[in-house]
Amino acid sequence: MTSSRRKFLSNTTKIAASAGLIPVVSLFTKANPKHVSANDKIVVGLVGARNMGFGILNHALNQPGVECGAICDIDDSVLDERIEEVKIKQGKKPTRYKDFRKLMENKDLDAVIVGTPDHWHCLVTLAACEAGKDVYVEKPMANSIEECNAMVNAARKYKRVVQVGQQQRSGNHWIEIMERIKSGKIGQLRKVQIWANFNYGIGQPVVPDSAVPEGVDFNMWLGPAPERSFNKSRFHGSWRMFWDYGGGLMTDWGVHLIDMALWAKDVNTFPIATVATGGNFAYPENAHETFDTMSVSWQMKDYAINWEHTAGTQNGPYGRSYGLAFIGNDATLVTDRSGYELFPELENGKYKVPAIPKQSGRETHEPHVQNFLECIKSRKDPNCNVETGRMVASYAHMANIALRTNTRLDWNSSKGNFGKNEKANIYITPSYRDPWKLPKI
Ligand SMILES: NC(=O)c1ccc[n+]([C@@H]2O[C@H](COP(=O)([O-])OP(=O)(O)OC[C@H]3O[C@@H](n4cnc5c(N)ncnc54)[C@H](O)[C@@H]3O)[C@@H](O)[C@H]2O)c1
């Protein structure tokens, strides 16, 4: 380990420990590193294959020297289709699993991609880390703050490379934006305005519960979430709008965009305070629990971060349905995934800084996956490490908790909770359904 990496890990540990988040004693013990040298092939397994997980697997398979050794899903139809597709792509069938615990026993796998719904991210990642496999886990890192803490502990304890799927961290135009802001091109950054107006935030039409589709292990889909009967509107693709499995627009898009607001000042501490307003004001005919309308403010040390979403509308500031405005003394930098532009302030009839016309954005998944694969070999920390994933997921969860409890949240860093706000503290750790347990790591 290089001295800079040792120093980084040591600092990270101190920050997290001082925030009351992790027990220091368990770090860096019982490590079981699995070594892939520079010329070795990397064999990956996929857990959760329907949509994004398969997209990430494809990006990995597009790189030289990568093979898919296994796919796991609880749905036979998804599993069979994806296995066939991979066989065509690489000329070899990956091993088929319906239980991720069995996949973890596969000694050929160097790494695991976790593409399940959010409520499964933590347990699958913990199992992979314990089995000595590196992990690409989709965002938000987990469905609660305490699950994120457990994942940070596991990644560090077992010395695993864990990349969180906030791919903008590997995107050139986002890196360029951060350089411009940090080098003072907009003057002092005072406020970041974020908005995210998307139709899917209003959920799917209400439909009655029905029989579990053939070939689906619904008990394993629910996993640690409460037992309930099957309902199509809370299953594949639409689970995001139900608290047991996701956090709605706030966690789904929030982690991508809030992450940029934190990156602009390299924030690695929780907000001083979180305040939220809004509710479920529209589309009662649709099935959703997460909020369709939401405004959030995070109080930071030397700037403010504000969030707005109005699901079901698609207009927004600067003619963009979603985006960020970094507001500085000298200019406002406006951006989304399609690119960025800079609007300077005027002083005595002259621009304070040069205007920047629209610059184009680029695809970010592929470089994020490439970065993960490089780190498997170099053992460096990836572009979106577990601490970064935990930080932004926690900001997003805090916003939801503030509105669910209708309280202002003040984080108590020595206790690792919201102090005497018991209503809010309940949401830090999920109650898992037997036999699933959230392990203390
Ligand atoms: N980074 C991005 O831009 C991006 C984009 C879309 C989705 N995502 C994230 O990807 C994840 C998956 O989203 P999606 O849209 O692909 O969801 P999805 O519902 O389409 O697919 C999830 C898959 O996981 C499977 N699954 C569920 N429980 C499982 C278990 N215990 N074992 C194995 N398989 C299991 C399901 O059967 C399904 O095939 C989410 O966390 C989401 O936030 C990220």
pLDDT in tens, 285-296: 899 999 999 999
Distance (Å) from CA 47 to ligand 1 centroid: 9
Regarding the beta carbon of 259 and ligand 1, being less than 6 Å apart is answered no
Distance (Å) from CA 347 to ligand 1 centroid: 50
pLDDT score for 284:
84
pLDDT score for 34:
56
Mean pLDDT, range 113-136, rounded to an integer: 98
In tens, the pLDDT along 73-88 reads: 999 999 999 999 999 9
- How confident is residue 36, by pLDDT bands cut at 50, 70 and 90? confident
Residue 193 pLDDT exceeds 80: yes
Q: Could you give the CA distance from residue 149 to residue 439 in angstroms, rounded to a whole number?
A: 11
Which sign, positive or negative, has the C-alpha torsion 344, 350, 352, 357? Answer: positive
Burial of 84 (0-12, 13-18, 19+ CB in 10 A): exposed
What residues contact 65, with CB distance under 8 A and at least 6 apart? Answer: 39, 40, 41, 42
Which sign, positive or negative, has the C-alpha torsion 80, 81, 82, 86? Answer: positive
Mean pLDDT, range 208-235, rounded to an integer: 97
Q: Could you give the CA distance from residue 254 to residue 118 in angstroms, rounded to a whole number?
A: 14
Residue 9 pLDDT exceeds 80: no
Mean pLDDT, range 324-340, rounded to an integer: 98
Distance (Å) from CA 55 to ligand 1 centroid: 10
Residue 55 pLDDT exceeds 70: yes
Residue 348 pLDDT exceeds 60: yes
Q: Are 47 and 121 in contact (CB under 8 A)?
A: no
**Atom 40 of ligand 1, residue of closest alpha carbon:** 117
Residue 413 pLDDT exceeds 80: yes
> How many Cβ atoms sit within 10 Å of the Cβ of residue 352?
15
Q: Which residue has the higher pLDDT, 7 or 412?
A: 412
β-strands 346-347, 134-137: how paired? Answer: unpaired
Q: Which helix (H) or strand (E) holds 377?
A: helix 365-378
Distance (Å) from CA 165 to ligand 1 centroid: 12
In tens, the pLDDT along 137-163 reads: 999 999 999 999 999 999 999 999 999
Regarding the beta carbon of 117 and ligand 1, being less than 6 Å apart is answered yes
Q: Are 407 and 390 in contact (CB under 8 A)?
A: no
- How confident is residue 17, by pLDDT bands cut at 50, 70 and 90? very low
Q: Which residue has the higher pLDDT, 36 or 357?
A: 357
What residues contact 108, with CB distance under 8 A and at least 6 apart? Answer: 43, 69, 70
Could you tell me how many residues make up the chain? 441
**Atom 33 of ligand 1, residue of closest alpha carbon:** 73
Pocket test for ligand 1, best of 101, 138, 255, 372 (most atoms within 8 A of CB): 138
What residues contact 80, with CB distance under 8 A and at least 6 apart? Answer: none
What residues contact 317, with CB distance under 8 A and at least 6 apart? Answer: 193, 195, 323, 325, 334
* Sequence-ordered strand ranges (E) for 142-269: 162-164, 189-196, 204-205
Residue 3 pLDDT exceeds 70: no
pTM across the whole model:
0.92
Q: Are 50 and 74 in contact (CB under 8 A)?
A: no
Regarding the beta carbon of 221 and ligand 1, being less than 6 Å apart is answered yes
Burial 379-389 (b: 16+ CB within 10 A, else e): bebbbbbbbbb
Regarding the beta carbon of 167 and ligand 1, being less than 6 Å apart is answered yes
Q: Which residue has the higher pLDDT, 39 or 382?
A: 382
β-strands 134-137, 286-287: how paired? Answer: unpaired
Mean pLDDT, range 112-125, rounded to an integer: 98
